[in-house]
Amino acid sequence: MIWIYFNTELEFSKRLTGMNEFTEFAVFTAREAGQLLKSRLHAPHSIDYKGVVNLVTEADRMSEELILNRIQQHFPDHSVLTEESPEKERSSKYRWIIDPLDGTTNYAHGYPVFCVSIALEEQGILSGVVYNPMMDEMFYAEKGKGSWLNGQRISVSDTSDLSRSLLATGFPYDIRESDNNNLDYFNLMIKEAQAIRHAGAAALDMAYVAAGRFDGFWELKLMPWDTAAASLLIQEAGGIVTALSGEDFSMTAPHVLASNGGIHQQMLSALRKAR
């Protein structure tokens, strides 16, 4: 079993059972990367800018290097898509999709809301892991086997009224330059829902939908590493993930709408008003 490699994590492993080798590998790799991030949260950071407000820290790169090294050690023929490096295409039918630090802006400011996201794709997402190191919360799912949080089965909420729903959203990095910046959607939806939260880590927001903490989520201009693992978490927890238009979800489509299912059509109707 892969977890034997992580021989300092035996107590943690006892909580997480019944996984295939890929999910098990992703769980322990995400936890290792997350604990690295946690240990460096309040250290001085080296920050580079990929845009006006889009930044990357040395911690992003350290986490990514750790994950890539683990994949190279255990699955050297697998392809890899990750946020901070060029895609690595290899011979295997499997591809890992990685966000080594989702919530970089939060992290750079010492705001403790961020996560590690790791997914495995093979004609769809097979395994998905989102790890919140500050709360030691490991969300994970396998296709057809449900969603879990630290060994306990999770499911979406049963809220059926948008006006009583807690939603989450985020705003794109080009909000200063783009007309399509989600403000119109937000201004309308804040009047339709009970409340909206903007935490700054899309994968974690979506994991919270899977766990029933949020009833719905939408965001524009996301990337595959933001949504790959979390979309499986929501679907396996009984929720729905679509495009913002209501069409079938695709990781290559940047606009995402996710919910518990009970308020999905209400969210779609509300968003259409803003268009």
| Residue 215 in marked binding region | no
Distance CA 74, CA 96 (A): 12
Please report the DSSP string for 164-214 in residue order. G-EEEE---TTTTT-S-SSHHHHHHHHHHSSEEE--S-HHHHHHHHHTTS-
**Minimal CA–CA distance to 142: which of 268, 9, 264, 26?**
26
Give the Cα separation of 134 and 183 in Å (integer).
30
Structure tokens at 222: 């996301």
Find out whether 99 is annotated in a ligand binding site.
yes
Q: Are 84 and 203 in contact (CB under 8 A)?
A: no
| 9 has binding-site annotation | no
Binding-site positions for Mg(2+):
83, 99, 101-102, 226
Binding-site positions:
83, 99, 101-102, 226
